[in-house]
């Protein structure tokens, strides 16, 4: 597992996103250039996974989809990949062969959506 060794501001960003939510440490698949912050799990069978990572550069849609596909690897659980870069969040997922990508979103809004999704009783309540 790679640890991020960036600036104090980046470390503060890491500490604030989904603060109070249990984040499991996970190793990222080979070839993924992001730094893992952690993985939050929803409720129920094959729960929603929210994987939070940091990236020093602004990610693009193909990079997000590639990382999402490498982590998801065809599993049934929906995966929401959240890449933090500065004050913005870049999101891919949660499902599909060609999952949707949302670029340069407000980090606070993405965090609120993630919290709400993680509180649902199961992944089917997300629809």
What is the structure's pLDDT at 14?
52
With a pLDDT cut of 90, the percent of the chain lying above it is 80
CATH topology for 8-96+110-116 is Trna Endonuclease; Chain: A, domain 1 (3.40.1350)
So where are the chain's domains? Answer: 8-96+110-116
Q: Higher-confidence residue: 124 or 21?
A: 21
Backbone angles phi, psi at 58, to 5 degrees: -70, 120
What's the start-to-end Cα distance of the chain, in Å? 32
Going by pLDDT thresholds of 50, 70 and 90, the confidence category of residue 46 is very high
Over residues 6-13, mean pLDDT? 48
Tell me the two tokens of residue 69.
Answer: 């596909």
> Angle 25-40-114 (CA atoms, 0-180°, nearest 5)?
140
């Amino acid at each position: 597992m790679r640890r991020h060794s960036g600036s104090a501001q980046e470390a503060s960003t890491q500490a604030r996103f989904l603060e109070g939510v249990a984040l499991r440490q996970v190793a990222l698949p080979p070839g993924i250039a992001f730094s893992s912050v952690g993985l939050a799990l929803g409720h129920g069978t094959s729960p929603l996974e929210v994987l939070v990572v940091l990236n020093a550069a602004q990610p693009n849609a193909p990079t997000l989809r590639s990382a999402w596909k490498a982590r998801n690897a065809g599993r049934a659980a929906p995966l929401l990949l959240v890449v933090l870069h500065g004050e913005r969040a870049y999101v891919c997922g949660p499902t599909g062969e060609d999952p949707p990508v949302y670029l340069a979103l407000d980090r606070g809004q993405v965090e609120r959506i993630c919290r709400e999704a993680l509180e649902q009783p199961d992944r089917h309540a997300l629809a």
